[in-house]
Amino acid sequence: MAVYDLATGLRAHALYSQVALHAEYGGVVPELASRDHVRKLLPLIRQTLAEAGLGVRDLGGVAYTAGPGLVGALLVGAGVGRALAWALDVPAIGVHHMEGHLLAPLIEDPELRPPFVALLVSGGHSQLVAVRAIGDYELLGETLDDAAGEAFDKTAKLMGLPYPGGPHLAKLATTGRAGVFRFARPMTDRPGLDFSFSGLKTQVLLAWQRSDQSAATRADIARGFEDAIVDTLAIKCERALDAAGMDTLIVAGGVGANARLREQLQEQAARRGGRVRFPRLAFCTDNGAMIAYAGALRLAAGLHEDAQVQVRPRWDMATLPAVGRMSGEGRFVIRDS
């Protein structure tokens, strides 16, 4: 949950994590997720408004995630968001979850503006997107099977690490030795910008089964796996920048919180004479601020929808209408609405 003001920036944001709820099951249980949203949403709205020092009547519009994602969870947010907007008589808009991730680096970095290439790496998506303007997104490449975060989570699970696996595996990798286990860099030996991570998981499984399964070996495998993912992502990012003729890379989504990925992309940018930008860690993983920000931009452009609760479990970002462009002074030139 977050309150964003285009004139003054982020006013407040709060997060209620369901990690503890799902940990027992080793993954997200959709029905438990949506029921927990029902319980937590209104208290979290009140808390965020209180932190912003605002009342509900001060809101000029409402944004909520309309997709892609789990339909039950989406419907709770859409239902509450729409009802709030209806009651307050303000416009509301359903935001694309991945556009939220994509715009997150801009929330606290007013200098940053398109054109840039975005690497979006979350639990459900791995995409490279050429961003020419806010709302002008060209998909350059994506995963053919598992998402990068999913690969982290599944690999962690098969070595017995707790949910959510990604951060646990990354932490373990810091104590592992580089090069003891070397896994493939999938699809880097041929041209193209698509990814494939599911084979990597199988390589790790075989290595783990054949090993002594000691704590030290587990750390070495974690390190080998992380290096393989990070190298693969870095190679594809470099190719995407070349293909798009751009020198700025932004990284967002949960895997964007990975320290080794951040470090390697920074080194690569320094070598190329380009730049790479990440949101702060809390805005890499799912958060309300990114949805409030994307929604505020779209509402300011006059984009909103009728008072109907509609969500899209699947949603192609390239079908979104354009918002406008950034002027030389870093302000948004909103399109004629």
State the minimum distance, in angstroms, from the CB of residue 336 to ligand KG4.
33
122 binds Zn ion (CB under 5 A): yes
Question: Quick check: 69 and 37 in contact, CB under 8 A?
Answer: no
- Site for Zn ion contains 65 (CB under 5 A): no
Alpha-carbon distances of 125 from 57, 129, 151, 181, 233, rounded to whole Å? 36, 12, 11, 26, 13
Q: Is 285 in the site for ligand KG4 (CB under 6 A)?
A: yes
Residues 243-282 within binding reach of ligand KG4 (CB under 6 A): 253-255, 257-258
**Is residue 286 a contact point for Zn ion (CB under 5 A)?**
yes
Ramachandran sector of residue 26 (left: φ over 0; alpha: ψ -120 to 50; beta: rest): left
Say if residue 68 is preceded by a cis peptide, omega within 30 of 0: yes
* Under rule CB under 6 A, residue 77 binds ligand KG4: no
Please report, as a single letter, which amino acid is at residue 178: A
127: contact with Zn ion by CB under 5 A: no
Binding residue for ligand KG4, selected from 165, 186, 224, 279, defined by CB under 6 A: 165
Region of residue 92 (left: phi > 0; alpha: psi -120 to 50; beta: else):
beta
Cα gap 162→179, rounded to integer Å: 25
State which of residues 79, 124, 199, 274 lies at the interface with ligand KG4 (CB under 6 A). Answer: 124
Rounded Cα distance between 336 and 328, Å, is 19
* Distance in angstroms (rounded) separating the CA atoms of residues 84 and 299: 15
Question: In angstroms, what is the C-alpha Rg of the chain?
Answer: 20
Outline where DSSP puts E strands in the chain.
2-5, 9-13, 62-67, 92-96, 116-121, 126-133, 136-142, 248-252, 275-277, 324-326, 332-334
Helices (H) and strands (E) in the chain, counts: 10, 11
Contact partner at residue 136 from Zn ion, ligand KG4, none, CB < 5 to 8 Å by partner kind: none
Instruction: CB nearer to Zn ion: give 122 or 126.
Output: 122
- Name the segment binding Zn ion (CB under 5 A); options: 63-71, 117-125, 196-204, 225-233: 117-125
Binder to ligand KG4 among 153, 220, 227, 238 (CB under 6 A)? 153
- Whichever of 146 and 286 has its CB closer to Zn ion, that residue is 286
- Binding to ligand KG4, residues 103-122 (CB under 6 A): 122
- Which of these ranges, 74-82, 164-172, 175-183, 304-312, lies near ligand KG4 under the rule CB under 6 A? 164-172
With CB cut-offs between 5 and 8 Å by kind, which of Zn ion, ligand KG4, none does residue 63 bind?
none
- Amino acid residing at 137: Y
Residue 295 near which of Zn ion, ligand KG4, none (CB within 5-8 Å, type-dependent): none
Report the residue number, 85 or 148, with the smaller CB distance to ligand KG4. Answer: 148
Contact 59, 90 (CB under 8 A): yes
How far is residue 78 from each of residues 39, 41, 130, 236, 243, measured CA to CA in Å?
A: 15, 11, 29, 35, 37
Instruction: Please state the closest distance from residue 291 (CB atom) to ligand KG4, in A.
Output: 11
Residue among 122, 115, 131, 75 at smallest CA distance from 97: 122
Q: Is 68 in the site for ligand KG4 (CB under 6 A)?
A: no
Q: How far is the CB of 152 from ligand KG4 (least distance, A)?
A: 4
Give the torsion sign (CA, 45, 46, 47, 52).
positive
Q: How far is the CB of 282 from ligand KG4 (least distance, A)?
A: 10
Out of ligand KG4, Zn ion, none, which partner does residue 105 contact, by CB within 5 to 8 A per kind? Answer: none
**Closer residue to Zn ion (CB): 131 or 269:** 131
- Which CB atom, from 28 or from 54, has the smaller least distance to ligand KG4? 28
Which residues of the chain form contacts with Zn ion (CB under 5 A)? Answer: 122, 286
Residues in touch with ligand KG4 (CB under 6 A): 122-124, 149-150, 152-153, 164-167, 170, 253-255, 257-258, 285-286
